[in-house]
Amino acid sequence: MSRLWITRRRLLTAAGLAGATLPLAGCDAFDGILQNRAPVRDVLASANGLTYRVQRLLADADRLAPEFAESEIRQGQRPNGSTDPTDEAYIALRQQDFSGYSLGVTGLVERPLRLTLTELRNMPSRTQITRHDCVEGWSCIAKWTGVPLARVLDEARVRPEARYVVFHCFDRMNLGLSGETAYYESIDLIDARHPQTILAYGLNGKPLPVENGAPLRVRIERQLGYKMAKYISAIEVVSDLSPFGRGRGGFWEDLGYDWYAGI
Amino acid sequence: MAAADNGTEQTDRSMSLVVRRHALVTRLTHWLWALALFFLLLSGLQIFNAHPALYVGQQSGFEFDNSILSIDATRTADGDVRGVTTFFGHGFDTTGMLGVSGPVDRRAYRAFPSWLTVPSYQDLATGRVVHFFFAWVFATVFVAWIIASIINGHLRRDIVPSGEDLRGLPRSVLRHLRFQFDHGRRYNGLQKLSYAIVLLIFFPLMILTGMSMSPGMNAAWPWLLDVFGGRQTARTIHFVIMLLLVLFFVVHIFMVFAAGPINELRSMISGRYRIDREQRQREAGR
């Protein structure tokens, strides 16, 4: 019996000691080294480049994101981010039901374009029922209709030195003390030419509503929602992302989010 | 070398022997996993806080209900804000821990409290940066461990329970309940079984459900969604296995202290472990 008693005493001590280690998890200890642009954070963030390269290896350029049946559309597309842009030019266009809207395609192209909504709607279209994944963690399935971005790029004839497509947007995001900045995003030419990458003007069989990005938003089905710019005003084909915003390739990227959002 | 125990059972030093218990690969992978899992847990809770709800199926129900868990801050009739955790439709007041936490004069309205997240403040971007870096560490170590353990026999010898181990499980459970611990070179049956479940079931499930949440991986390996029943189900499974791994961690640390923390810790650092001589003779006889 004495043997048992001793191990029991030790057991209670063990429970106490084990319990005492738990509050060590208190985690403001790492706040300093994880501030945006801190060196340690940049090292950790470099794993995103690895993710990008490995996912590009695992999925061919044309490999499609899963598509769903009509029966999987069980709710409206949840709006997120800006839902009602207050930019004056945008409000003016919206009052005319976007009849005066035209999409500029500029940058490293042989033939810069200006396409009205009617012209975009008259181009070959693609309709797809896909799952929208927000970086926050939720998902929502909806039907999107639009013109494949590859068609627009082919029409404009992309120059060989081009590497990225930048989306300029009407909506401005509040940055707190540093004021407002225009939303923008960028993707590589692999995703830009992906068959499911469309400039969408239709949602669930109706014209794209303002809260979801009217008149035009991009769908990039192998990445997260923040890549899929809404309220697109112009497209610019570039070889370098550093001239835009703070140089990280997008509004959220400039605030510390990964440029490649396939994860 | 200081002996771990001052209890009566090991006063006679000649009764025990120091052996090499853990191979270098085992020790190295153990501590890399410990480090990675520490940051994966705390950054994972940071990510969860961005949308603290779990669902079953492909998508999240906003206009229909497929939620099984959600953590919210709710204002009561008298103006007080309470943390409410809803589990299968039943609400529980979790103020102080989940939903609403922190000092009374500086309440934080967040699902998991700041002491359980990295960074301590709300920062989804950094949570993701930390999570995916350590996810790579975790998965790389796992692949290295599996390969090494197949080659050096660790998997077959120490992890996968043998028929004899399984038959001896009831006895092994009884011995643990009586706080009688083996100090042998080998793991006992219950130990093998729990390590096998964690290493061969939980770890791969964690990696695969994590991948199922990646839209890029959904294109590359669409079968992942079929296996787990949709992205939101995969996210829920990821969360549940996290809870099970935390449970394993608590029991694991408890057992280390109960079985003799210095001896156990030393064996995982230098590989040296003091075993009972009788145990050694029993093992040699097998």
**pLDDT tens-digit readout, B186-226:** 888 999 999 999 999 999 999 999 999 999 999 999 999 99
Which residue among A18, A55, A137 places its CB closest to the CB of B235?
A137
Task: Please check whether residue A3 lies inside any domain of the structure.
Answer: no
pLDDT band at A20 (very low <50, low <70, confident <90, very high): low
Residue A186 lies in a domain: yes
Per the listing, tokens 């006992």 go with B188
CA-closest candidate to residue A162, choices A201, A82, A227, A107: A107
- A146-173 confidence digits (pLDDT tens): 999 999 999 999 999 999 999 999 999 8
Q: What number does CATH give the domain B17-52+117-285?
A: 1.20.950.20
Provide the domain count of chain A: 2
Tokens of B190: 């219950």
Q: Name which of A4, A50, A63 is nearest B219 (Cβ-Cβ).
A: A63
Interface of B with A in 159-178 (CB under 8 A): 178
Nearest chain B Cα distance for residue A105, angstroms? 27
pLDDT digits (tens, 9 = 90+) for A28-58: 889 988 988 889 999 999 999 999 999 999 9
A192 pLDDT above the threshold of 70: yes
The minimal CB distance from B50 to the residues A51, A136, A263 is found for A136
This complex has an ipTM of 0.90
CB contact under 8 A, B129 and A45: yes
- pLDDT of A143 over the 80 cut: yes
Residues of A with Cβ-Cβ distance to B64 under 8 angstroms: 74-75
Chain B neighbors of A195, CB-CB under 8 A: none
Alpha-carbon distances of B15 from A163, A173, B8, B11, B261, rounded to whole Å: 71, 72, 12, 8, 19
Pairing of strands A217-219, A198-203: antiparallel
A54 & A79 share domain: no
Shared domain for A38 and A76, answered yes or no, is: no
Residue B15: the pLDDT is 64
A96 shares a domain with A225: yes
Q: Do A116 and A221 belong to one domain?
A: yes
Give residue A178's pLDDT band: very low, low, confident or very high (50, 70, 90).
confident
Domain membership flag for residue A151: yes
Rounded-to-integer distance, Cα A262 and Cα B59, Å? 17
Residue at a domain's end among A58, A76, A103: A58
Check residue A158 and report its DSSP letter: B
Range scoring the smallest mean pLDDT among A8-22, B57-71, B203-217? A8-22
- CB pairs A-B closer than 8 Å: 193
DSSP string, chain B: ---S--SGGGSSGGGEEEEE-S-HHHHHHHHHHHHHHHHHHHHHHHHHHHS-EEESSSS--SSS--EEEEEEEEE-TTS-EEEEEEETTEEEE-TBTSSSBS-GGG-B--SS-GGGSSSSS--HHHHHHHHHHHHHHHHHHHHHHHHHHHHSSHIIIIISPPHHHHHTHHHHHHHHHTT-----SSPPHHHHHHHHHIIIIIHHHHHHHHHHT-HHHHHH-THHHHHHTSHHHHHHHHHHHHHHHHHHHHHHHHHHHHH-HHHHHHHHHT-EEEEEHHHHHHHHH-
**Are residue A34 and residue A83 in the same domain, yes or no?**
no
For residue A25, pLDDT beyond 90: no
**Average pLDDT score over residue span A115-121:** 97
With residue A109 as reference, give the H or E element that holds it. none
Phi, psi of A210 (to 5 degrees): -55, -45
Chain B residues within 8 A of A66 when measuring between CB atoms: 218-219, 222, 225
Same domain, A115 and A215: yes
Q: Which of A2, A21, A44 to mutate to test the interface with B (most CBs of B within 10 A)?
A: A44
pTM (two decimals): 0.91
Rounded CA Rg of chain A = 24
Rounded to whole angstroms, the maximal C-alpha distance in chain B is 72
* A94 and A186 assigned to the same domain: yes
A221 in a domain, yes or no?
Answer: yes
On whether any CB of chain A is under 8 Å from the CB of B48, the answer is: yes
Residues A76 and A206 in one domain: yes
Does residue A197 form part of some domain? yes
Instruction: Over range A179-191, report the average pLDDT.
Output: 94
Interchain CB distance below 8 Å, B42 and A27: yes
Co-location of A123 and A142 in the same domain: yes
Residue A244 domain flag: yes
- Identify the residue whose tokens are 């029922």: A129
Nearest to B176 by CA among B255, B279, B253: B255
- Structural domain ending residue among the three candidates A9, A39, A58: A58
Using an 8 Å CB-CB cutoff, list chain B residues near A262.
Answer: 214-217
Give Cβ neighbours of residue A34 (< 8 Å, ≥ 6 apart). Answer: A40, A41, A44, B118, B119, B123, B126, B129, B130
| Chain B closest-CA separation from residue A202 CA (Å) | 21
Task: Please report the pLDDT score of residue A236 as a whole number.
Answer: 98
CA distances from B75 to A213, B93, B251 (A): 32, 12, 37
Interface of B with A in 63-82 (CB under 8 A): 63-64
C-alpha distance from B112 to closest chain A C-alpha (Å): 12
Interface residue B8 vs chain A (CB under 8 A): yes
Q: What is the CATH number of the domain that holds A91?
A: 3.90.420.10
List of chain B residues whose C-beta atoms are within 8 Å of the C-beta of residue A68: 58
Nearest to A199 by CA among A220, A175, A174: A220
Q: Are residues A43 and A128 in the same domain?
A: no
Q: Are residues A125 and A42 in the same domain?
A: no
The distance of B221 to chain A (nearest Cα, Å) reads: 8
Look at residues A35, A58, A81 and tell me which one is the last residue of a structural domain. Answer: A58
Residue B9: pLDDT band (50, 70, 90) is: very low
For residue A204, what are its two tokens? 């669930």
Location of structure tokens 């994590």: B210
* Mean pLDDT computed over every residue of chain A: 92
The domain spans of chain B are 17-52+117-285, 56-111
Q: Does the pLDDT of residue A18 top 60, yes or no? A: no
Q: Which domain holds residue A52?
A: 27-58
